């Protein structure tokens, strides 16, 4: 049976309405960082003699990730600065003090993404605002997407994992103690897993 022009017009209108609705229904997935599988490490040269390595042990945050459109991803992370660990108690006490992280005055540092540039099939540059010692500066991390899928031991949850590297100049944030004998450029190594919410 032939459809009237009025019926065809109504079908076309319905299709035009449904099309944008279909697109807006697709949203990035929300993930909460698994603190037991979040690692933020750094290194710093010491007087030209050696390199000291450290990490932060208290990391929390969230990220939004759409595997089909990674450029739309967002990240929001908070690190407790008193969780810094350089494998030496006396040095950690100094690093937590006013010469470095001044943890009593600035108990957290934060990173909030401002953009993602896709550079390859599983790679991208994540740029964001890092706030440290009350100073906010842009930092860019080179990120590799490892994989996303059901946890092999806990199949009821979905996990996404990433590795990242980057660097910052500590003096940009006002951390000037013993510069440049204690290195200004701080390489970063980050690895996180997030649990889909």
Question: What are the angstrom distances between the C-alpha of 178 and each of 45, 47, 49, 149, 184?
Answer: 11, 9, 14, 46, 9
Residue 20 counted as domain residue: no
Q: How many domains does the chain have?
A: 1
- 131 assigned to some structural domain: yes
Asked if residue 12 is part of any domain, the answer here is: no
Tell me whether residue 18 is in a domain.
no
Would 128 be classed as within a structural domain?
A: yes
Instruction: Provide the CATH number for the domain around residue 184.
Output: 2.40.128.110
User: pLDDT tens digits, residue range 25-51?
Assistant: 457 999 999 999 999 999 999 999 999
pLDDT digits (tens, 9 = 90+) for 127-160: 999 999 999 999 999 999 999 999 999 999 999 9
> Is the pLDDT reported for residue 24 higher than 70?
no
Q: Is residue 133 part of a domain?
A: yes
Tell how far CA 135 is from the center of its chain: 18
pTM score of the predicted model: 0.86
Q: Which domain holds residue 54?
A: 28-196
């Amino acid at each position: 049976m032939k459809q009237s022009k009025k019926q065809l017009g109504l079908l076309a209108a319905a299709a035009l309405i449904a099309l944008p609705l279909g697109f807006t229904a697709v949203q990035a997935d929300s993930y909460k960082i698994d603190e037991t599988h979040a690692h933020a490490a750094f290194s710093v040269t010491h007087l030209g003699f050696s390199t000291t390595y450290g990490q932060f042990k208290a990391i929390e945050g969230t990220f939004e990730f759409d595997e089909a459109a990674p450029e739309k991803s967002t990240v929001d992370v908070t690190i407790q600065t008193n969780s810094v660990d350089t494998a030496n108690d006396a040095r950690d006490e100094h690093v937590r003090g006013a010469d470095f992280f001044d943890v009593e005055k600035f108990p957290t540092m934060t990173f909030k993404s401002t953009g993602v540039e896709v550079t390859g099939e599983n790679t991208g540059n994540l740029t964001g605002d890092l706030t440290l010692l009350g100073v906010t500066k842009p930092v860019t991390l080179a990120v590799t997407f490892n994989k996303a899928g059901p946890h092999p031991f806990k199949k009821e949850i979905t996990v996404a994992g990433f590795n990242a590297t980057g660097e910052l100049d500590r003096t940009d944030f006002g951390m000037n103690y013993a510069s440049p004998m204690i290195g200004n450029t701080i390489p970063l190594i980050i690895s996180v897993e997030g649990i889909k919410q």
